[in-house]
Amino acid sequence: MYLLDSLPNKLAADYPWVSSPLIVSAPMAKVAMPKLAVAVSKAGGLGFIAAGYHSDHLEDLLEEAEDLLQDGQADTPVESENGVPKFLPVGVGFITWSASLEKALPTFSRYFPAAVWLFAPPNGFQDLIPWTTKIREATASRTKIWVQVGSVSDAVKVVNTIDPDVIVVQGLDAGGHSLARGASIVSLVPEINDKLQQLRPYPQKRADVLAAGGISDSRGVVAAMALGAEGCVLGTRFLASPESMVAHGYQKAILDASDGGISTVRTTIYDKVRDIHGWPDGYDGRGLINRTYLDDLGGLSEVKNRELYREELNRGDAGYGPKGRLTTYAGTGVGLIREIMSAGDIVKSMREGARKILNEQRQPKL
Amino acid sequence: MYLLDSLPNKLAADYPWVSSPLIVSAPMAKVAMPKLAVAVSKAGGLGFIAAGYHSDHLEDLLEEAEDLLQDGQADTPVESENGVPKFLPVGVGFITWSASLEKALPTFSRYFPAAVWLFAPPNGFQDLIPWTTKIREATASRTKIWVQVGSVSDAVKVVNTIDPDVIVVQGLDAGGHSLARGASIVSLVPEINDKLQQLRPYPQKRADVLAAGGISDSRGVVAAMALGAEGCVLGTRFLASPESMVAHGYQKAILDASDGGISTVRTTIYDKVRDIHGWPDGYDGRGLINRTYLDDLGGLSEVKNRELYREELNRGDAGYGPKGRLTTYAGTGVGLIREIMSAGDIVKSMREGARKILNEQRQPKL
């Protein structure tokens, strides 16, 4: 575990505005928009904007982020070199089986987002070679390459294939999409760390390891650090912030849920009813159990289930929750989330809570 | 997180020979015999003997444990009051849908094992009321009541039903049997801790929370402590000790395996081929993927699969591993286990490793 007081050197150099321990908001498709990402970065974390399945509005999103970052000059961590922004202190996430690199590329050389998060290549990690090469070229490596993985073998493959700057290790507790089968960060993070040390003995080791999945408060942050993570990624926790682009009904379902291992499930039915096709084999998504899932379990046809889902859309906020049908992706840590909190306060409370937990260990022995 | 230097008061009082942080070896059926349990307790941990599915040989097992504990007086932590052993510093674990309380009870009032670990009641936690009441009566509460749970709601039910001394919170990473659906300790332990604090505000809180599932080395121990656990339970790690009652082929399969989220699977087929019937609904077991599982996935009939399993038994050690058929229960932390180590050294290395990790945080800020 690195010293809580000081961020690992590489992270400190690459993301100079962040505080230790590094707290990251995940690029949740359709949910993580500039407002959320900027609030997280302004609080000394690193916020990701979801380009998601498409790259259509990326230019608008980054322009919005730039505007928001310039609001309130004192807080703005945009760095500049001779008047040219060195980079935008937010990241952008792509679902790479669906998003278009070619469409996205021009925005990189214009905005220089601090990081790009690549997820779910359709045919293996060699699909990420053009993404990595061209983004590094377009930004003179100002934009750092992050790749999300869910297994030890994938982590090794990624390092050997594209040498990313950061590996986001996603455990099975995570909400939304990930590998359908896997382990939690409890065993994944230390095993991946050990493997990467073998590949590139410290201090030549390149990729930083971040942990995602099930972390909802500062206890999870310290746990992830103890396991060897150099930062933490949270998704579900940020859903319960005003900066998230989710319906009130969604947020209420998050606050109401408890016992996430039981109240959520990994399934592909939530994609199917929303007509999202094309996830590579081996992926599914974790969401709160609702009637869509229960009807699927009960044998209802996909066609009928989709019809019911579409009708449910008319119910708005009332369509969420265990008796509703609207998809509510959430991780197993959902039961630890009990209040709406601003994204900035979430970041700060994680960090302060982590310091408090570890400072207790610094008391002298009685 | 409690101070690493000092065990929480209740644990220190109930298990006076243990050192901080508390390391426990799980009562793995057929595997955790007196030799393992005693080695763990002698090293300042708490070792459990598996009475497992039956209670037939319990008297012999506890007699053997007593003998082993008296070997090498200096290490022996047996306490006595007026020449009568106060308790045997090991625990005993029961699979309660199968084991017989009536058969087990006389051995409790004779040997006073330090703890009894109750798992998987057939019809709900009210089934544990006779176990708890009669064992407490028979031992004047010298034997502490431990119950294993896998969800927040089960933890609450157990506390309200039988007020156990310890709740073992088993995350989804665990090897062997557990709830088929659930979360890892990352979200389970903090949420259960919060719920128990609500039920019984500290310091009246009775049940200590221990974490199990995926922990294979000291990084996992510190993570569990950060999450709020007051001790850690390990199973798979102890399989790779000479004191474990497992075949060399089993141990080799453990050492050879990596990437446990991918190389293991939760399934009921390993029970079926071994003619173990009666696990309550909602349970299955995590083991290394082998031909039994792959053939089941491929549609082979249970009858034929069982036949092949039985033939495989003749192959002995060669019947283990990914190309074999002999059941090899293991948790997702299996990839972190790279050498056979004595059970005592495992306990000590966990403890020393945890201290090392946390002491690094005590360095003054540079």
Mean pLDDT of A219-237: 97
ipTM, interface predicted TM-score of the complex: 0.95
Nearest CB to A153 within list B183, B186, B259: B259
Distance CA B176, CA B280 (A): 15
| H-type alpha helices, A50-117 | 58-70, 101-111
A283-317 pLDDT, tens digit per residue, is 999 999 999 999 999 999 999 999 999 999 999 99
Distance CA B321, CA A288 (A): 36
Distance CA B233, CA B169 (A): 9
The answer to whether the Cβ–Cβ distance between A220 and B186 falls below 8 Å is: yes
**Chain B hits for A365, Cβ within 8 Å:** 3, 5-6
* Reported confidence tier of residue A197, pLDDT bands at 50, 70, 90: confident
Q: Is B298 exposed, middle or buried (0-12, 13-18, 19+ CB in 10 A)?
A: exposed
Contact residues for A237 (Cβ-Cβ < 8 A; gap 6+): A215, A216, A217, A333, A337, A346
Contact (Cβ atoms closer than 8 angstroms) between residue B45 and residue B22: yes
Nearest CB to B183 within list A214, A228, A358: A214
Selected residue with higher pLDDT from B212 and A199: B212
**Smallest CA–CA distance from B194 into chain A, residue:** A336
Peptide bond into A190 cis (omega under 30): no
**Chain B hits for A182, Cβ within 8 Å:** 261-262, 332
**What pLDDT sits at residue A83?**
57
**Smallest CA–CA distance from A3 into chain B, residue:** B361
CA dihedral A322, A327, A328, A331 (to 10 degrees): 110
Contact residues for A319 (Cβ-Cβ < 8 A; gap 6+): A249, A312, A313, A325, A326
**Chain B hits for A171, Cβ within 8 Å:** 184, 186
Mean pLDDT of A129-142: 97
Contact residues for A182 (Cβ-Cβ < 8 A; gap 6+): A150, A151, A170, A171, A172, A188, B261, B262, B332
**Chain A hits for B184, Cβ within 8 Å:** 171-173, 183-186, 213-214, 332
Peptide bond into A203 cis (omega under 30): yes
Distance CA B36, CA B41 (A): 9
Both tokens assigned to A333: 């840590």
Mean pLDDT of A5-9: 78
How do the pLDDT tens digits run along chain B, 366 residues long? Answer: 666 667 888 898 999 999 999 999 999 999 999 999 999 999 999 999 999 888 788 999 999 999 999 976 544 445 555 655 578 999 999 999 999 999 999 999 999 999 999 999 999 999 999 999 999 999 999 999 999 999 999 999 999 999 999 999 999 999 999 999 999 999 999 999 999 988 876 555 678 999 999 999 999 999 999 999 999 999 999 999 999 999 999 999 999 999 999 999 999 999 999 999 999 999 999 999 999 999 999 999 999 999 999 999 999 999 999 999 999 999 999 999 999 999 999 999 999 999 999 887 765 443
**Smallest CA–CA distance from B365 into chain A, residue:** A5
**What pLDDT sits at residue A147?**
98
Q: Which domains does chain A have, with CATH numbers?
A: 9-244 (3.20.20.70), 248-333 (no CATH)
**What pLDDT sits at residue A365?**
46
The answer to whether the Cβ–Cβ distance between B259 and A331 falls below 8 Å is: no
Q: How far is B193 from chain A (nearest CA, A)?
A: 11
Q: How many CB pairs under 8 A join A and B?
A: 201
Nearest CB to B362 within list A331, A362, A366: A362
Q: Is B236 helix (H, G, I), strand (E, B) or coil?
A: helix
A48-80 pLDDT, tens digit per residue, is 999 988 878 899 999 999 999 997 654 444 555
The answer to whether the Cβ–Cβ distance between B262 and A182 falls below 8 Å is: yes
